[in-house]
Structure 1
Amino acid sequence: MGNRFICMKKKDVIVRTSGGDGSRSKRLNRSQRKSIGDEEMLHRRALSLAIHQAQLSQRFDGSMSRRVGSTSSRRRSLSDPFSNNKQVSDFLESLTVKKFILVHGEGFGAWCWYKTIASLEESGLSPVTVDLAGSGFNMTDTNSIYTLEEYSKPLIELLQNLPLEEKVILVGHSTGGACVSYALEKFPEKISKAIFICATMVSDGQRPFDVFADELGSAERFMKESQFLIYGNGEDKPATGFMFEKQHMKSLYFNQSPNKDIALSMISMRPVPLGPMMEKLSLSGERYGRGRRFYVQTLDDLALSPDVQEKLVRENSPEGVFKIKGSDHCPFFSKPQSLHKIFLEIAQIS
């Protein structure tokens, strides 16, 4: 891994039960019971919103490591700055950027971040989510989205409307990484740091789809043979989108996620516009190259294998790399606490 050292607590790498982000004893104290109750309430709220969305859109079918310039491989623990109010205050005062913009990946929507939103808010930070075009509650017809510019429009408008001097930490999951790269090229002055979570962190001239070539085959082969393509404008016209079957999605994306989050995803995920995934990005060293990029690898990922993620890191040289053992392609479901710690760690990097 080069110049990186491990910053992983032992409890973050042991095998977890599917019901949470760590083993729990049968006897829970009051704060633990409250935390579990809060999470259940958030999940019920997200599930309710997802059901409402499904009713509105019947036309749709359904181990961390960080490079810091040292060759040391010594272990250290992630600090928890929230054991008392003074530490919370000191932590927040030390941060120059407190706003996180969370960008979902293919098929998902802002709803997938519900655990992350709660944990960041509890830490005194300001999470903002966005539905990309044709995703979540954005009712743009997927079949009418042909370019990355069109797909990213809600994110670009959000960044355009930020106060002049305000900066954000921009987070992208999976193919949402392409939207983050696109935003870095357009607004390098507004983005303090960019975090790619098992994401398509591509080079200049690459397509987001190219990242998945090892799993799905070449783009040309996928377009010719895939059973998952959608022909929204007629079978005699080019494909407009794709969506995996539910059982296929479960095995690819959610092999470590709790059942309730899988259920939420099964009624909420929407088709993915194909055009933006096949578009080559134009990224310049003067703009995109100015960005501070961090990558989060998911080591039990069946959608984007750890080997492919490692290749992305080698070819694109982010400033820092973190790894989460025991996470599938959706760490916001399978390892939310570990993901939260990484966010806090990156927020504190000066």
Structure 2
Amino acid sequence: MGNRVICMKKKDVAIRSSGDGSRSKRVSRSQRKLLGDEEMLHRRALSMAIHQAQLSQRFDGSMSRRVGSTSSRRQTLSDPFSNNKQVPDIVDSLTVKKLILVHGEGFGAWCWYKTVASLEESGLSPVTVDLTGCGFSMADANSVSTLEEYSKPLILLLQNLHEEEKVILVGHSTGGACVSYALERFPEKISKAIFICATMVSDGQRPFDIFADQLGSAERFMKESQFLIHGNGKDKPATGFMFEKQHMKSLYFNQSPNKDIALSMISMRAVPLGPMMEKLSLSAERYGKGRRFYVQTLDDLALSPDVQEKLARENSPEGVFKIKGSDHCPFFSKPQSLHKILLEIAHIP
């Protein structure tokens, strides 16, 4: 299947003036309400993160509840992430409405709070998951040594699906490796796989290899990196890594709102190193037949647009989408654009 490239135009929310003064006031009030709803979503997500940091309350397995939603009501006319334009009621024609959102390195299910809210408002059924040692998972990240163990909460979700049920998998950053691993194991349960500035690895490739241009070779990183964590002692091999906060801010969040950066700074955890250094075994018969889509972030400093372009070129996804003005976290920096793309991919027959 050939690539289908779609460029997303940058659009800002604007309230246009009108000759009808009362209508203008109604739009203004509506806009204030939407902004207030988004602020409430953030406060709830932040409260959960603070609660986690202070009390170390972490829960094993998947986190399948939404983070900080104001309503499960479906909107068809005034979706909060559609710039107040009418949203086509497309979900009734979809055969697959459930999306499983898989976070990237250091993140957790909490990072999807805006995406979960907007997808539910559009009538879809998003499910978030904490990978092992991430988010609210009780596991120590230093104890996670394989991609199988790291991906276990996602695999359990797929195993527990009804026999005929299918889902759309969405993977961010290194979460793309987990999506590829799942696609190899359960191709019959995955309708589509969406990689968001993600490690869409080839057979025999490691997730770390995708970031080699930014982080240097694996060998050099293991010898020289100041970010390595030796959870089993300094004389033992490194078990994880964690960027210091200032480095993380410039690398991941160069376009994100300050409040989402603050949320991330108190919520991100160390990254298990073993799964990032593991070579994936992907077959043409299983993984190769999956429907894969790639979303590029064009202001990304963690995974450069050139690297993302190379990934799309070498792995031939069915469709390639681009988000202008987005850093490595489009769920923070460009949630409206990300929402539109996920809806569009979900509706591709």
One-letter amino acid of the counterpart of residue 219, structure 1: A
2:21 matched residue in structure 1: none
Distance 1:89 1:277 in 2: 40
**Structure 1: any 5+ residue segments left out of the alignment?**
17-21, 60-80
Query: What are the equivalent positions in structure 2 for 1:301-312 lying under 5 Å apart?
Result: 301-312=300-311
Distance 1:323 1:154 in 2: 29
User: Deviation of residue 188 (structure 1)?
Assistant: 0.3
User: Deviation of residue 88 (structure 1)?
Assistant: 6.8
Distance 2:128 2:316 in 1: 27
Q: Deviations over 1:102-127 (max 9, x none)?
A: 00000000000000000000001000
Residue 7 of structure 2 corresponds to residue 13 of structure 1 = no
User: Deviation of residue 159 (structure 1)?
Assistant: 0.7
Distance 1:270 1:242 in 2: 9
One-letter amino acid of the counterpart of residue 83, structure 1: L
User: Deviation of residue 56 (structure 1)?
Assistant: 3.1
Distance 1:92 1:33 in 2: 27
Question: Measured at CA, do residues 224 and 131 of structure 1 come closer, stay the same or move farther in structure 2, by a change above 3 Å?
Answer: same
1:67 matched residue in structure 2: none
Distance 2:303 2:205 in 1: 17
2:230 matched residue in structure 1: 231
1:144 matched residue in structure 2: 143
Matched residue count: 318
1:66 matched residue in structure 2: none
2:36 matched residue in structure 1: 37
Residue 156 of structure 2 corresponds to residue 157 of structure 1 = yes
Residue 338 of structure 2 corresponds to residue 339 of structure 1 = yes
Question: Measured at CA, do residues 3 and 88 of structure 1 come closer, stay the same or move farther in structure 2, by a change above 3 Å?
Answer: closer
User: Deviation of residue 152 (structure 1)?
Assistant: 0.3
User: Deviation of residue 93 (structure 1)?
Assistant: 1.6
3-state DSSP of counterpart to 2:320: strand
One-letter amino acid of the counterpart of residue 185, structure 1: E
3-state DSSP of counterpart to 2:294: strand
Distance 2:313 2:55 in 1: 43
Q: Is the 8 A contact 2:135 2:268 kept in 1?
A: yes
3-state DSSP of counterpart to 2:90: helix
Q: Is the 8 A contact 2:3 2:319 kept in 1?
A: no
Query: What are the equivalent positions in structure 2 for 1:238-317 lying under 5 Å apart?
Result: 238-317=237-316
User: Deviation of residue 83 (structure 1)?
Assistant: 3.2
Q: Deviations over 1:284-317 (max 9, x none)?
A: 0111011100000000000000000001011100
Question: Measured at CA, do residues 98 and 328 of structure 1 come closer, stay the same or move farther in structure 2, by a change above 3 Å?
Answer: same
One-letter amino acid of the counterpart of residue 236, structure 1: D
Distance 2:202 2:232 in 1: 31
**Structure 2: any 5+ residue segments left out of the alignment?**
18-24, 59-74, 80-85
Q: Deviations over 1:267-292 (max 9, x none)?
A: 00000000000000000011101110
TM-score (norm 2): 0.87
Question: Measured at CA, do residues 271 and 3 of structure 1 come closer, stay the same or move farther in structure 2, by a change above 3 Å?
Answer: closer
3-state DSSP of counterpart to 1:286: coil
1:113 matched residue in structure 2: 112
RMSD over aligned Cα atoms: 2.1
1:91 matched residue in structure 2: 90
Q: Is the 8 A contact 2:166 2:189 kept in 1?
A: yes
Residue 218 of structure 2 corresponds to residue 219 of structure 1 = yes
Question: Measured at CA, do residues 53 and 348 of structure 1 come closer, stay the same or move farther in structure 2, by a change above 3 Å?
Answer: same
Query: What are the equivalent positions in structure 2 for 1:129-140 lying under 5 Å apart?
Result: 129-140=128-139
1:122 matched residue in structure 2: 121
User: Deviation of residue 84 (structure 1)?
Assistant: 7.5
1:64 matched residue in structure 2: none
Distance 1:102 1:149 in 2: 18
Residue 186 of structure 2 corresponds to residue 192 of structure 1 = no
Question: Measured at CA, do residues 198 and 89 of structure 1 come closer, stay the same or move farther in structure 2, by a change above 3 Å?
Answer: closer
User: Deviation of residue 145 (structure 1)?
Assistant: 0.4
Distance 1:24 1:227 in 2: 48
3-state DSSP of counterpart to 1:29: helix
Distance 1:234 1:330 in 2: 33
3-state DSSP of counterpart to 2:321: strand
Q: Deviations over 1:227-280 (max 9, x none)?
A: 000000000000000000000000000000000000000000000000000000
Distance 2:141 2:244 in 1: 17
3-state DSSP of counterpart to 1:252: helix
Distance 1:6 1:342 in 2: 10
Question: Measured at CA, do residues 308 and 88 of structure 1 come closer, stay the same or move farther in structure 2, by a change above 3 Å?
Answer: closer
Question: Measured at CA, do residues 58 and 90 of structure 1 come closer, stay the same or move farther in structure 2, by a change above 3 Å?
Answer: closer
1:177 matched residue in structure 2: 176
